[in-house]
Structure 1
Amino acid sequence: MADLPPLNHQDAILQYISSNFVSVKESDKTFYKGHLEFVVTNLIKNMKDVDIFFCTMFQRDEVAGSFWDGLKIGKPVEFDKNFVLRLPRCFMNSIQFLPALPSFVLVNVKRGFADLQRSDKWEQYKGHPHYSSSGRAPPAGARPRRPLPGPSGRRPNLPRKIESWLDRDGNIISDKVRFWMESVIVRAVDSFPSYSNAGWSYKLSTRKAGPAMTVEVEINPGSRQFNIDIVPAFEFQPAAWPKHIRPYPKNIPDAVWHVVPKPIKPNESESGANRSNYGPDIQWRLSFHNQESYRIHDKFHLKAVLKLIKKMRDVKLDQDMLCSYAIKTVFLWEMDDHDDSFWQRGLSVTFLHMLNVLVKFLRSGNLPFYWQKEHNLLGKLKEVQRDQLFRTVQRIQNQIHHGLRNEDWLVIAREILTDEEFHQLEGSFDI
Structure 2
Amino acid sequence: MLTKTELPCIVEPVVFEKHPSFVALCLSGPDVPENLVELHNGEKFLSRLKLHNWYCENIKDVIPELDNIQCGKNAYKLEYTGHGYAVAHTLVATCIGNSKRQIYFDFVPAFEFDASAWHNGMKKARNNNNGSWFAVPRKFTKPGAADDPLSFMVCAPYWERMVLQDKQNLKDSLRLMKAMRNANGMDRLISYMIKSIFMNRVNTDDEMYNWNKSPGNILISVSKLST
SS of the equivalent of 2:138 reads: coil
Residue 97 of structure 1 pairs with residue 97 of structure 2: no
* Alpha-carbon contact 2:115-2:133 (below 8 Å) kept: yes
Residue 333 of structure 1 pairs with residue 200 of structure 2: yes
Residue 200 of structure 1 pairs with residue 74 of structure 2: yes
* Alpha-carbon contact 2:22-2:151 (below 8 Å) kept: yes
2: CA distance, partners of 1:188 / 1:245: 38
Q: Aligned AA for 2:35?
A: S
2: CA distance, partners of 1:262 / 1:204: 25
What is the CA deviation profile of residues 57-91 of structure 1, one whole-angstrom value per residue up to 9, with x for unaligned ones? Answer: xxxxxxxxxxxxxxxxxxxxxxxx22211233x51
Matched with 1:352 is: 217
Matched with 1:217 is: 93
Structure 2 residue runs of 5 or longer lacking an equivalent are none
Given the superposition, is the C-alpha separation of residues 230 and 310 from structure 1 closer, same or farther in structure 2, using an over 3 Å criterion? closer
How many residues were matched structurally?
Answer: 219
Matched with 1:300 is: 168
* Alpha-carbon contact 1:205-1:215 (below 8 Å) kept: yes
* Alpha-carbon contact 2:48-2:151 (below 8 Å) kept: yes
Matched with 1:86 is: 6
**Percent identity of equivalent pairs:** 23
SS of the equivalent of 2:125 reads: coil
* Alpha-carbon contact 2:68-2:77 (below 8 Å) kept: yes
What is the CA deviation profile of residues 135-170 of structure 1, one whole-angstrom value per residue up to 9, with x for unaligned ones? Answer: xxxxxxxxxxxxxxxxxxxxxxxx25x122222321
1:360, CA displacement in angstroms?
Answer: 4.3
1:96, CA displacement in angstroms?
Answer: 4.7
1: CA distance, partners of 2:170 / 2:69: 39
SS of the equivalent of 2:160 reads: helix
Higher alpha-carbon Rg: 1
1:186, CA displacement in angstroms?
Answer: 1.5
Report the TM-score when normalising by structure 2.
0.81
Structure showing the higher helix proportion among its residues: 1
Given the superposition, is the C-alpha separation of residues 284 and 202 from structure 1 closer, same or farther in structure 2, using an over 3 Å criterion? same
1:258, CA displacement in angstroms?
Answer: 1.0
> Segments of 4+ in structure 1 off by > 4 A?
264-268
What is the CA deviation profile of residues 352-381 of structure 1, one whole-angstrom value per residue up to 9, with x for unaligned ones? Answer: 24313303434xxxxxxxxxxxxxxxxxxx
Structure showing the higher strand proportion among its residues: 2
Aligned mate of 2:53, from 144, 158, 179: 179
* Alpha-carbon contact 2:181-2:187 (below 8 Å) kept: no
Give the stretch that moved more between structures: 174-183 or 257-266: 257-266
* Alpha-carbon contact 2:79-2:91 (below 8 Å) kept: yes
1:237, CA displacement in angstroms?
Answer: 0.5
Given the superposition, is the C-alpha separation of residues 221 and 214 from structure 1 closer, same or farther in structure 2, using an over 3 Å criterion? same
What's the C-alpha RMSD, in Å, of the aligned pairs?
Answer: 2.8
1:334, CA displacement in angstroms?
Answer: 2.3
1:344, CA displacement in angstroms?
Answer: 2.7
Structure 1 residue runs of 5 or longer lacking an equivalent are 1-80, 117-158, 271-278, 363-431
SS of the equivalent of 1:171 reads: strand
Matched with 2:26 is: 108
